A and B are shown apart, each in its own frame.
Chain A
Amino acid sequence: MKNKDELKELITGVSIITLGVVLLKLVIPGEVDMSETDETTSILVRPDFWPKIVSWLMIIVGCIYSGISASKLFKPKLASKNLVNQSPLDQSSSIAVSKEAILRWTIVAVIMFIFLIADQETGLLIPSAAIFLIASLGFSMAAGYLRFAVAILLPMLLAAFFDFVANVPIPIGFLKFLAWA
């Protein structure tokens, strides 16, 4: 378990170094527009200067972090008993194959998918109702029909509040036939 934490930290450190290098070599040259500057522009005020500073800091911090993690990994005596930092998600033996675990991760995946595909066509009401129903199943099966009532009413109340009180129009997508559309 202890080695797993140090390995995780080592991978994190190496990932940060990789991110810094990718930023310096690929992303900054490709995604920072330098068209407004020329050779006479001071390097200190060019648009890519600050991103490069942050990238280099990432590489330096990543190296230090990886070094500390590697020293803990390969010299176990120096590792600290920092149990507080053990991730509560790291229940490796329990996450793998139980039916309940698969159901929960499926629920999470569906919720994320709804967030991802929501747009003006879907509106907010129907996806919200779906999110509520699916998430409530993940927490408890005991709610009964009450969950359906809440799933319908809650998004409508929120939409009415934002529409009429906060003056923020809420897209209702497929439900355009509703009175306030």
Chain B
Amino acid sequence: MFTQEIFVTALEHLFISWGILAIPVGLIAGVIVGAVPGLTAPMGVALVLPFTFFMDPVSAILLLLGVYKGGIYGGSIPAILLNTPGTVAASATTLDGYQMTLSGQSKKALDIALISSVLADIVSTLMLILFTGYLAKLALNFGSPETFSLIFFSLFIISSISGDQIMKGLVAALLGLLAAMVGVDSYYGTPRFNFGNVSMMNGFTILPLLVGFFAFSEVLFRLVNVQNKFKIDSAQRMIGNSLESAEIKRLLPTIFRSSLFGTILGAIPGIGAAPAAFFAYSEAKRRSKFPDQFGKGSMEGVAAPEAANNAVCSASFIPVLSLGIPGGTAAAVIMGAFIMQGLAPGPYLFKENRDIILAIYLGLLLGSAFLFGLGHIAIKAFVRIKLIPDWFIYPTILVLCFFSGFVVSSSFFDVKIMLFAGVLGLIFRYLTIPIAPFLIGFILGPLLENSFRESLMQSDGDLSVFFTGPICIFFWLLSLGSFAFTLWRTLRKNIMISDSK
């Protein structure tokens, strides 16, 4: 497929046309964007897009890809250190990443995020190179019933994140689905749950909700704690040790598995990095020998979502390159860059511009190496955040929340939403209701509803459409198996406790 001549031309694009410089520049910009709550990776890509007008195609595409990858990785840094996901995709990382920080292991958590991101990036890029054709065919097999069964399974697994308290998880998930319904009906465009408020026509924006739930409620919680039992103590101020090689080996299966999930889900248009991260998290928990540790500082709980969300980056280009369909928001922006450069994304790109495709592939692989080096530098800088005194760091987080809530849509309504989410987060803490199911219910709710309605429209109301096809049956069996396992575990624990009494 790639001849020697094409290979030489691709190397010229990289090294003579300075395409190789575009990667680290893009990564640096992306990490900064991702580390600032309120700025998303797609937003960073859109901001950089105008600068690519004057660049050659390879440099332009690699710059934008660097921003995207850096942004997705950068979101993990505040997620781990400050319980504030820098991007939507990093929201699953907060669940265990911040707990590791509280136990004085912030350096280890950041190392896990970096290594998971880099390895997943390599896996995903290799999969992109080797299997673009095959993966595009698999993505085409995911119709509405398959999407519905997948999301139902993800929601169910995430609800059991709270271990024995599956009911609380289901309550949170249902509240998330309810919040997702605010706005307009996706088919008829008619208002739904707006209460006459024009600002609610577009529904709730996800980032203010995330920032409110995680960061704002965290600071409020620390403020109201009267006895200072949860004040940061000297242990939490410790940066901790770096990740050891034995620990890396132990995490490799989780990273590899999550990379595969992220790649497959990223290849499906519309799924996105956040659902992939939560799905990988839930799978890692289900397979773990210590599932009770999830949510309390499990290393697998950091590795899984970080691997999955970074794997989505390269995978979201599989449908772009093979079908001319963007796999996500950032992929759509980058597809615009392709078109601006006079390239037609899709199958014809492989026929007409193989040298550019190969240069992009090589650039992506080099990008993983750059990400590893850049990440180490970023960690050394950001990990010192925990040494900053409370009176500075938490009020700074509040101010950052305030700005973050506004800048997403330049709307003060989003600031109110963040306030509401912060209060709700505090109530959830008081009632020990987990936040993750609420958020995943909110993120996946529209997809769940649309796939449900589309399936029924296609089948003229025949519910059996959800139970035909091997992919659907596979996910329903997984859901049933998980429910039975959780029920068995709960009953066994209750019996053991009553016996001990």
Instruction: Mark A residues whose CB is within 8 Å of B.
Output: 8-9, 12-13, 16, 23, 27, 31-37, 42, 44-45, 47, 49-51, 54, 57-58, 61-62, 64-65, 68, 77-78, 80-82, 85-91, 94-95, 98, 100-101, 104-105, 107-108, 111-112, 115-116, 118-120, 124, 127-128, 131-133, 135-136, 138-140, 142-143, 147, 150, 154-155, 158-159, 162, 166-170
Contact = CB atoms under 8 A, between A and B. Distances in A.
The 10 closest A-B pairs by CB, nearest first: A33-B190, A135-B395, A140-B391, A47-B185, A36-B188, A115-B419, A139-B391, A65-B167, A132-B395, A136-B391
A150 B416 CA distance: 25
B303 to A, nearest CB: 23
A57 to B, nearest CB: 6
A154 B399 contact: yes
Contacts of B193: 27, 31-32, 51
Interface in B345-395: 389-392, 394-395
- In this complex, the member of A36, A85, A120 whose beta carbon has the largest number of chain B beta carbons within 10 angstroms is A85
Interface in B225-269: 225-227, 229-230
B311 interface: no
A127 B403 CA distance: 10
A51 B181 contact: yes
Interface in B23-39: 39
Contact of A120 (B395, B412, B418): B412
Interface string B429-465: 1111100000000000000010011001100010000
Given A54-B178, A111-B398, A158-B399, A147 B431 contact: no
Given A82-B165, A89-B430, 7 more contacts: A32-B193, A36-B189, A37-B188, A47-B185, A51-B192, A131-B395, A132-B395
Contacts of A155: 399, 403
A175 B474 CA distance: 60
A69 B431 CA distance: 13
Classify the interface of chain B: helix, strand, loop or mixed.
Answer: helix
Interface residues of B, number: 73
B119 to A, nearest CB: 31
B226 A95 contact: yes
Interface of B: 39, 43, 47, 164-165, 167-168, 170-171, 174, 177-178, 181, 185, 187-195, 219-227, 229-230, 389-392, 394-396, 398-400, 402-403, 406-407, 410, 412, 415-416, 418-419, 422-423, 426, 429-433, 449, 452-453, 456-457, 461, 493-494, 497-498, 501
Given A47-B188, A88-B229, A139-B390, A128 B402 contact: yes
Nearest to A88: B230
Contacts of A61: 167, 170-171, 174
Contacts of A36: 188-190
Contacts of B416: 115-116
B423 A85 contact: no
A89 B423 CA distance: 13
- In this complex, the member of B395, B406, B415 whose beta carbon has the largest number of chain A beta carbons within 10 angstroms is B395
Nearest to B185: A47
A80 B403 contact: no
Contact of B192 (A47, A139, A159): A47
A166 B391 contact: no
B225 A108 contact: no
A162 B407 contact: yes
Contacts of A147: 391-392
Nearest to A30: B195
B192 A34 contact: no
B391 A142 contact: yes
A98 to B, nearest CB: 7
Contacts of B501: 77
A105 B224 contact: yes
Nearest to A131: B398
Given A88-B229, A140-B391, A47 B432 contact: no
B441 to A, nearest CB: 9
Nearest to A129: B399
Nearest to B426: A89
